Structure 1
């Protein structure tokens, strides 16, 4: 087990999602846990969304992490690979404004093309950040074993499920959207990490700075 405690205690987190609700599904529990950590900031960037969905995303992230700021663009849902230049430009512009220590983004092997493209590009834009790729359950059945886990309390898990349904009413009628699914994924990752609940991530590259001065 490795604790994340950067020098000076400050932690700036950037969350990137292709669609409204991606961030909250993939790492909402982690954001709830970070909300109690002093010196932490959270910023969100979402690439697609109808006007209704954009309003949901803008209101949702601060519920998971009070004070979080989120920007929602209007690129076409399901068509991000065809708009590669616009996606890359949006990420580069965000990089000019934010130098996060941690980036939370979709997996590079996600079955959804929009998720996959973002997962591939974030590591090329933020080369000096720790990038953790979150998972989003879906019909495609693309789940894989994570290699990074964030343990969650029962309260974190319950709160995540509650907020997902409250913050994204446009999605509650979908056949895959329910608390049982979200709780089940967190419970499974908890079993894998010796905790009650957890969220799982994939990390493609991790730099361990073993300098004792920097580690203080």
Structure 2
């Protein structure tokens, strides 16, 4: 296993979620690590959510990546496949309002939730010139897969992630799956797989290894 460096300088990141909290659950530690690395120009797009949940998502985006912008498509939760054209338009509009990103974070294409699957499938066709990483979300369905790519998360940032989840998404705390042990346990498991204490894992369907240094 070898580490691949990110490009130097400010990083442009697009975060795509079917629902408020998807991104932060799936890769909040990665977001915090990117923020600690240096300047990040981040743009969040969330496809569903009530006004109250949108407020939570805005707060979370700012907490995890200060200065991030947040946009919402306000489509029906659990019904995104029925709104294929509107989802496609929302993704292309989001791509058009921002410079080409270095990194795009989206759900997995084989996620058990239909809204997640649709976004995961569409995103690589919208952002063809970015590194697209598909994040994972623990859930009742038990759909954890076999990741290809890992981001090590320092202990303090792993714990900061779960603190921010609680602070930014109070509406979700009554759910039985909203639990520090779930979130930290998932990161600990993925950390074990890449020889880190904590980590978050992704599927990277296409990566260009530039061995010639851009020549």
Q: TM-score, normalised by structure 2?
A: 0.96
The reply to whether residue 71 of structure 1 matches residue 104 of structure 2 is no
Match of 1:81?
81
Structure 1 residues 9-88: aligned runs within 5 Å? 9-88=9-88
Distance 2:63 2:96 in 1: 26
1:187 and 1:210 map into 2 onto residues whose CA distance is 32
Greater mean deviation of Cα atoms: 185-194 or 65-74: 65-74
Distance 2:36 2:159 in 1: 16
Aligned residues: 213
- Kindly indicate whether residue 206 of structure 2 is the aligned counterpart of residue 202 of structure 1: no
Question: 3-state SS of the aligned residue for 1:12?
Answer: strand
Deviation of the 1:102 alpha carbon: 0.7
Q: Write out aligned runs for 1:64-143 (5 A).
A: 64-98=64-98, 99-143=100-144
Within 2, Cα distance between the matches of 1:3 and 1:203? Answer: 13
Gaps of 5+ in 2: none
Shift of residue 118 of structure 1?
0.1
CA contact (8 A) 2:11 2:102 kept: yes
Q: Structure 1-normalised TM-score?
A: 0.95
How far residue 79 of structure 1 moved from its aligned partner, in angstroms, is 0.3
Q: Segments of 4+ in structure 1 off by > 6 A?
A: none
Q: Which moved more, 1:89-98 or 1:8-17?
A: 8-17
Q: Distance in 1 between matches of 2:88 and 2:158?
A: 33
Between the aligned partners of 2:40 and 2:178, the Cα distance in structure 1 is 30
The 3-state SS of whatever aligns with 1:115 is helix
